[in-house]
Amino acid sequence: MNFSSKLLENAVEEFGRLPGVGKKTALRLVLHLLKQQDAEVTRFTQSLNLLKEKIQYCKACYNISDDEVCEICLSVKRDKSTICVVEDTRDVMAIENTNQYQGVYHVLGGLISPMDGVGPSDLKIDGLLQRLKTGEVKEIILALSATMEGDTTIFYLYRKLKEFNVQVSTIARGIAFGGELEYVDEITLGRSILTRVPYERNVG
């Protein structure tokens, strides 16, 4: 791709670093920004700067938050005895959109993937185990993607959770193997939460 401007080329290159954005899409986005009013472009860049500078991770569940503790963890309406373990913030959003779950969450920040060099110590597993030591938690729902990495992580977590007096459940697998939660429709995902099953039944 030949550019008439080095500034344009640099901007396209930066946009092209975003996931799922190719060179042509990056060029279209940059040209769109160039057509906008200065105030709109400033508002766009300021929102990105504020996001990077001000965003926090909830010290309880590790979900993305504006404050030290997220709104879900602070809500008196949420059932603190049930924790739904998910891979990242996108999964929290997907489950919240179903309006079928009233417990709290724990965001691992990834999945165990030896091929990618991601081990248990790279995830927020210790934080989850610390939450269980209070004795308040009665059930852990492992709502991880139906992938090899998801199943590996579930198996590892189950072995760690066995020492605690909690029920360990997984979401019902109406979700195809290889499917990620953020792409599952709300009705299917909501039903899989409601019809969750004890993990022991799924072993073997």
User: Hey, what domains does the chain have and what are their CATH numbers?
Assistant: 6-54 (1.10.8.420), 76-202 (3.40.1360.10)
- CA–CA separation, 95 and 162 (whole Å): 25
Cβ(166)–Cβ(76) below 8 Å: no
pLDDT at 98: 87
- Terminal alpha carbon distance of the chain: 53
> What is the gyration radius of the CA atoms in the chain, in angstroms?
20
pLDDT at 2: 84
Sequence-ordered strand ranges (E) for 33-153: 56-57, 64-65, 79-86, 103-107, 139-142
Model pLDDT for residues 140-199, shown as the tens digit of each residue: 999 998 788 998 999 999 999 988 999 999 886 654 434 455 556 666 677 677 667 777
Output DSSP code: residue 184. Answer: S
pLDDT at 126: 95
- CA–CA separation, 201 and 191 (whole Å): 18
Q: In percent, how much of the chain has pLDDT > 70? A: 87
- CA–CA separation, 56 and 73 (whole Å): 14
Model pLDDT for residues 85-97, shown as the tens digit of each residue: 999 999 999 899 8
Q: Looking up tokens 């009013």, which residue turns up?
A: 37
Q: Does the pLDDT at position 59 exceed 70?
A: yes
Q: What does the mean pLDDT of the chain come to?
A: 88
